[in-house]
Chain A
């Protein structure tokens, strides 16, 4: 019994020191000077512009990666083809790539001077770098694996009996997918979407390299946190952080509600 309490105290103590206290302190520091300065920071044009940009990035990233994740999971679980293991490894690849490397890669591809596509696109008036498209590309890269990784185990678990029955009864592939497969994998998709959204709203490193960090123009909320911090505008940094932390909290609630199985 004593061992149990000891283990519990160590585990909870570690979590408190590493996670809970620091995040609680953020709340305290944000409102140290009252609500006024926080409200001012959150109603400024730079914040509204950052909020809009962050939402735009998430609104493009999440649907694209969701469709990709479902298609990829179906290919991985239901289809037989050579190179499947390789495809699976490539889908997980973004988990092992540093965000700054993603930013660097997009810089090499799309810069105007010697980018692989940069000059060609520039001639046609398309500006990828230092503009929202590159930030979307970076975010899509970073958040790519999440939906597929959640849907694959669900798809494997539900098996093919019902799908085969539908086919036998004359359902088309699309009907089978829409009426049988999709409802069954919906929880997995939902969980994956929550993870993808959290990642899309909070990405920093990759986006920081390709954005050019123009406050009021190409600064997302995370970039705004850093910009406030290095300009010694602490209340501004805390206020934006608090909004991001609240979004993270919403994510946690979503994860608890939707968790299809223990763990990821």
Chain B
């Protein structure tokens, strides 16, 4: 089976080199993919890990337990958790309105959801400063506060939960809801007992992706947060500043902690997705 399907892939190179013989292209395809991935992603990340432990376990520990590093990591972690919790609610709500509600301009609103993905993060930061900064037309100035960091993270992570929940909600069988309503369940009870359980895997996976994005966010945060050590300096900015000061080992140590947290979350998402696929029937 695999040899037949293998040539359906990109036997391209092998096939051309030896047209007379049917060569299985699968190993070649796989080889190219693994080589590219190793060179572009794995090798650089290995270099970060190696640099972080260059000064021994001691040096690593000192780097990540220094006052500003702990403060920055904690700020990134706590802010991302809060942002993700807000996203889970607002994202589900927005997905609900986009799927179940109908109003003029819905198509435009739907397109708008992807704007934070398409807009460069530095522009997002600039735009947020413009409206919620010192020259704010609505008189709200949050620059150099933790609130500004949360706002920037909310902006860049908006699409994740919405886009994860939307397709699941659209395909949800409405008969169950109608049955629940017919049996006398209120709208709130129907939502809590019938709809929410069906959406939960999608909400979790969207929230997880959003978390991985928020905890490492740099561009949208750096202009508006002021980067005051111990107060508004997030982990990514801390890494940036350590690099500028030529302290790459310390920067690498913080980077490894960030990586470990993100990887843990991405792994958890993969498990949730597998679990929900299995339970779909």
| Stretch of A16-24, A35-43, A119-127 at the chain-chain interface | A16-24
> What residues of chain B lie closer than 8 Å to A241, measured between beta carbons?
122-123, 126-127
Q: Report how far A160 CA is from B5 CA in the complex, Å.
A: 8
B213 touches A23 (CB 8 A): no
A35 CA to B265 CA, complexed, in Å: 47
Identify the closest chain A residue to B107 (Cβ).
A256
Q: Write the chain A residue with the least CB distance to B44.
A: A105
Q: How far is the CA of A137 from the CA of B39 in the complex (A)?
A: 10
Q: Chain A: interface secondary structure?
A: helix
Contact A7 B219, CB 8 Å, known A104-B251, A241-B123? no
Q: Which of B197-223 contact A (CB under 8 A)?
A: 209, 212-213, 215-219, 222-223
Q: Are A75 and B9 within 8 A (Cβ)?
A: yes
Q: Which residues of B in the span 247-270 have a Cβ within 8 Å of any Cβ on A?
A: 248, 251-252, 255, 258-259, 262-263, 265-267, 270
* Residue of A70, A91, A107, A221 ringed by the most chain B CB atoms within 10 A: A107
In the complex, which residue of chain A has the Cβ closest to the Cβ of B46? A105
A157 within 8 A of B: no
Are B120's CB and A222's CB within 8 A? yes
Partner of B44, one of A11, A141, A249: A141
Q: How far is the CB of A79 from chain B (nearest CB, A)?
A: 5
- Out of B51, B123, B213, which one reaches A245, CB within 8 Å? B123
Q: Of residues A7, A176, A204, which shows the largest number of chain B Cβ atoms within 10 Å of its Cβ?
A: A204
Tell me if B34 counts as interface (CB < 8 A to partner A): yes
Query: Is B2 an interface residue when CB atoms closer than 8 A count as contact?
Result: yes
> When chains A and B are docked, how far (Å) is the Cα of A205 from the Cα of B125?
12
| Residues A98 and B215 in contact in the complex (CB < 8 Å), given A26-B126, A204-B121, A263-B166 | yes
Q: Are B33 and A87 in contact (CB under 8 A)?
A: yes
Shortest Cβ gap from B244 to chain A (Å): 9
**A116: nearest residue on chain B (CB-CB)?**
B47
Partner of A205, one of B107, B121, B266: B121
Q: Given A101-B259, A109-B47, A263-B167, are A176 and B122 neighbors across the interface (CB < 8 Å)?
A: no
- Residue contact B216 to A90, C-beta cutoff 8 Å: no
Most B CB atoms within 10 A — which of A90, A94, A96, A99?
A: A96
Q: What is the bound-complex CA distance between A201 and B122, given in angstroms? A: 12
Indicate whether A190 reaches chain B with its CB closer than 8 angstroms: no
Shortest Cβ distance from A93 into B: residue:
B41
CB distance B25 to A173 under 8 Å? yes
Which B residues are CB-close (under 8 A) to A87? 33-34, 37
Once A68-B33, A261-B167 are accepted as A-B contacts, the answer to whether A104 and B248 lie under 8 Å apart by CB is yes
Q: Evaluate contact between A167 and B240: CB separation under 8 angstroms.
A: no
Confirm or deny: B181 has a beta carbon within 8 angstroms of a beta carbon on chain A: no
Q: When the two chains form their complex, are residues A173 and B8 in contact, meaning their CB atoms are under 8 A apart?
A: yes
Residues on B with C-beta less than 8 A from A252 are 111-112, 114-115, 118
- Interface residue B10 (Cβ < 8 Å from any Cβ of A): yes
Tell me the minimal C-beta distance from B41 to chain A in angstroms.
6
* Complex CA distance for A116 and B16, rounded to whole angstroms: 37
Number of interface residues of A (CB under 8 A): 99
Whether B5 lies near A100 (C-beta < 8 A) is no
B218 and A100 contact, CB distance less than 8 A: yes
The minimal Cβ–Cβ distance linking B209 to chain A, given in whole angstroms, is 7
Asked whether A188 is an interface residue with its Cβ less than 8 Å from the other chain, the reply is: no
With an 8 A cutoff between CB atoms, is B178 at the interface?
A: no
Residues 73-108 of A contacting B (Cβ, < 8 Å) = 74-75, 78-81, 85, 87, 89-108
Q: For the complex, is B61 an interface residue (Cβ under 8 Å from A)?
A: no
Contacts of A18 in B (CB 8 A): 151, 154-155, 158
Inter-subunit contact A95/B266 (CB<8 Å): yes
Q: Is the CB of A176 within 8 A of B187?
A: no
What chain A residues lie within 8 Å of B130 (beta carbons)?
Answer: 22, 25-26, 29
Q: Does B64 belong to the interface (CB within 8 Å)?
A: no
One of A137, A167, A255, A256 near B7 (C-beta < 8 A): A167
Say yes or no: is B42 at the interface (Cβ < 8 Å to chain A). yes
B68 at the interface (CB under 8 A from A): no
| 12 A–B contacts from the bound complex (CB under 8 Å) | A23-B115, A71-B9, A79-B30, A95-B209, A105-B255, A163-B8, A172-B11, A173-B9, A173-B25, A202-B119, A226-B122, A248-B123
Known: A79-B5, A262-B167. 19 other contacts (CB 8 A): A14-B94, A68-B37, A79-B30, A85-B270, A92-B266, A95-B212, A97-B262, A98-B236, A98-B258, A99-B216, A101-B48, A141-B41, A173-B8, A177-B12, A204-B121, A245-B119, A253-B111, A255-B114, A262-B166
